[in-house]
Amino acid sequence: MNVLDFVPMDTNTVPVIVKQPTLVSRKDCINLSTKISVGARDYQISHIVKGVENISSEIDSFFPISLYAAMKENLPLKIEGVLSRRLAENHKIIQLIVNSWWPTYRLIPVDYWALSKKPITENVKRSVGCFFTGGIDSFYSFLKRNSEINRIIICYGLDIRLDNHALREKVSTELKKIANHYNKSIIEVETDVRNFSDDYGDWGHQMHGPALAGIAMLLSKELHKVYIASSNPFGLLEPWGTHPLIDPFWSTDAIEIVHDGCEATRVQKAQFVSQDLFALNAIRVCHENRSNLYNCGICEKCVRSMVNLAITNTLQQCQAFDNPLEYWRIRRIKLDTSLRREWLTNLVAAKKANCDPALVDAIEDCVSGIYYMGIKGWPKRALNLLHKMTLASKTAHS
């Protein structure tokens, strides 16, 4: 018995069951839906796709999220359909990686009716796409591979809730302007996958990776390759939903899934993106969606991105944020371990770039967490307050 021979489960255990999907073509969209049963819970999941002639009706596109759910529940997975040969070969590797990162995701057996026999042949003309949110990561991969990528994939129902119609409309309009500017066609995917995925893992840490992989598979009739922009550079890699170790293993006979961009830190990505003035002013990084603003300029993600741009000395040319960068907000950010590592790289980059000393000082305070150190942080906080008052007094007298 080797590591890949998973221990079989009791045959009486009720598996997670994925039903054969149903495809419905409408005038301006195509809908693929299926039912997934996890114990007594039944989920109906639907993907509605616009901007394509065809989508894949294979069950593959529901495999990644149901695999994670089955692992989380420690139940076997039963695919009631034909599974991609490559997924059948690779899911054990994916499971071993996921299980080694999060042991509560257990190794489980996968059963299917049959394996796919006919991969799409190369004489079918297909193109290359990338998932696109307008963020620094996706802009970096998109601009870097501009000559290769001809379609951008925009998803609704992932970071932006489906029922937030106002924000969705706003973001959709802006992302369409971006596609238009670069002469790319858009594929829009509306999905309720989070009604399912949120029950079986954290969106960032686990579920957004399998959700994106499934959507990529859905588009394999028109795309032969899809890029997923990296979140972390090689030096800061950690267990995460999308990851260079896992994403390639989601590739099927019909589509190649590529994790792109780990070679650059976010400051380096910001530097690259800001060379394109249009992109610099079209960036959308905000995930908190406060007051439905395009980029609130207040949340951690917005502040971090503005700091990335400030380090590259391009923030003053960027009109994409609804509030200016205020250094006190940097100091007040509460960091977990992984964010602290990224802010440390910002600190190193800011020092190296000889940035405004006040900015460097604020990043230092953020990394050391003086606002969350209790009494130990008071001397520095008092000094900051004194400095702020002196500045205010100078401004009042000038």
Binding site for Zn ion (CB under 5 A): 286, 288, 296, 299, 302
Contacts of 236 (CB under 8 A, 6+ apart): 265, 338, 341, 342, 345
Min dist. Cβ of residue 295 to Zn ion (A): 6
63-73 and 85-101 are packed helices; what angle lies between their axes, rounded to 10 degrees? 40
Nearer residue to Zn ion within complex by CB, 258 or 296 = 296
Instruction: List the one residue out of 276, 366, 362 whose CA is nearest residue 314.
Output: 276
Min dist. Cβ of residue 294 to Zn ion (A): 9
276 DSSP 8-state letter: S
Nearer residue to Zn ion within complex by CB, 215 or 299 = 299
Min dist. Cβ of residue 99 to Zn ion (A): 34
Min dist. Cβ of residue 345 to Zn ion (A): 20
Nearer residue to Zn ion within complex by CB, 45 or 175 = 175
Instruction: List the one residue out of 179, 50, 64 whose CA is nearest residue 110.
Output: 64
Min dist. Cβ of residue 133 to Zn ion (A): 13
Nearer residue to Zn ion within complex by CB, 218 or 293 = 293
Is-contact 186 152, C-beta < 8 A?
Answer: yes
Nearer residue to Zn ion within complex by CB, 54 or 164 = 164
Contacts of 23 (CB under 8 A, 6+ apart): 30, 31, 32, 55, 57
CB-neighbour burial class of residue 20 (10 A; exposed 0-12, middle 13-18, buried 19+):
middle
Min dist. Cβ of residue 288 to Zn ion (A): 5
Nearer residue to Zn ion within complex by CB, 270 or 302 = 302
Nearer residue to Zn ion within complex by CB, 48 or 299 = 299
Min dist. Cβ of residue 286 to Zn ion (A): 3
In the chain, beta strands by DSSP E: 16-18, 22-25, 30-38, 41-50, 77-83, 110-115, 127-131, 151-156, 185-191, 223-229, 256-260
Structure-block tokens of residue 44: 């109906």
Min dist. Cβ of residue 325 to Zn ion (A): 12
Instruction: List the one residue out of 397, 398, 298, 366 whose CA is nearest residue 384.
Output: 366
387 DSSP 8-state letter: H
CA angle 225, 44, 110 (to 5 degrees): 60
Min dist. Cβ of residue 236 to Zn ion (A): 21
Tell me the CA distances in angstroms from 190 to 95, 156, 162, 295, one per residue in order. Answer: 28, 5, 8, 22
Is-contact 308 272, C-beta < 8 A?
Answer: no
Nearer residue to Zn ion within complex by CB, 199 or 288 = 288
Instruction: List the one residue out of 265, 270, 191, 195 whose CA is nearest residue 231.
Output: 265
Min dist. Cβ of residue 360 to Zn ion (A): 23
Nearer residue to Zn ion within complex by CB, 213 or 296 = 296
Nearer residue to Zn ion within complex by CB, 108 or 283 = 283
Hunting for tokens 């996706």 — which residue is that?
A: 138
